[in-house]
Amino acid sequence: MTDYQQWSEERLVAASQKGDRLALEFLIKSYQGLLNYVCEKYFLKDGDKEDLLQEATIGLIEAVYAFSMDSGKKFKNFAILCITRELDSCIKRSNRKKHQILNDAIPIYSFAECEAERSYKGYTSFMEKVLIDNAPSPESIYLEKEKVNELLTKINDTLTDLEKKVLNLRISGHSYNEITVKLNLQNKSVDNAIQRIRKKMSRDFIIRTA
């Protein structure tokens, strides 16, 4: 049996990127303290700590798959940035779409600018790139195609045909409006599909603490 306790964070990240699910689970568990600490700095009017923890863990998973082993940076700094950006991004989404999980979430604390912010240049979170309406160009997404495909392989079996179509169009750089036209759907249907994709990702990968 592999003793992951003897592994460095970077080794755990590298193994996770190659599909070692146990390494990913161990890494997530090891970050529970940090995730809880970050979530304590946010207040939910209509939600609870578990909702925040789910979003924070999604940010951590994004960091795992987006981290470059050749960057020369510490993974922890990058992870903190992705976690906080995911929570902040959820707050922005909730302000636009009242039915989302973090409705009326208000941050009462933000991390001071640190090395993580400076090292972020050149990195972006997969989910923030793809699952918000302000998508980047297809060219910029193509640069991380391998990482995107790696993540898609892991969650693809849990998606419906509609969810796969929506996600593939988002990865290709299409806006919500363009997707509604191509798939002949209402904007709300597209948004609901995106939210289901996020929930399925968290259900498949998030390891809850006892």
Tell me the per-residue pLDDT of 87-129, one tens digit each, with 9 for 90 and over.
Answer: 877 666 655 554 433 333 344 333 333 333 333 333 334 444 4
Nearest in space to 166 (alpha carbons), one of 137, 187, 145, 142: 187
**Among 24-28, 56-60, 77-81, 119-123, whose mean pLDDT is lowest?**
119-123
Pairing label, strands 106-107, 42-43: antiparallel
Does the pLDDT at position 173 exceed 50? Answer: yes
Looking at per-residue pLDDT, the higher value among 29 and 122 belongs to 29
* Of 38-42, 115-119, 133-137, 163-167, the least confident: 115-119
Q: What is the pLDDT of residue 73?
A: 84
Residue of 64, 96, 94 whose CA lies nearest to 82:
64
Q: Is the pLDDT of residue 139 over 50?
A: no
pLDDT class of 31 with cuts at 50, 70, 90:
very high
Number of C-beta neighbours around residue 97 at 10 A: 14
Contact status, residue 62 vs residue 120, Cβ threshold 8 Å: no
Tokens, residue 100: 């989302």
pLDDT confidence of residue 93? 62
Mean pLDDT over the full length of the chain: 70
What pTM was computed for the model?
0.52
Mean pLDDT score, 26-30: 92
- At 174, give phi and psi (nearest 5°): -75, 145
Above 50 in pLDDT, residue 172?
yes
Decide which of 45 and 2 is more confident: 2
pLDDT of residue 196: 82
More confident residue, 44 or 177: 177
For residue 12, is pLDDT > 90? yes
Instruction: Please name the helix (run of DSSP H) or strand (run of DSSP E) that holds residue 110, with its range, or none.
Output: none
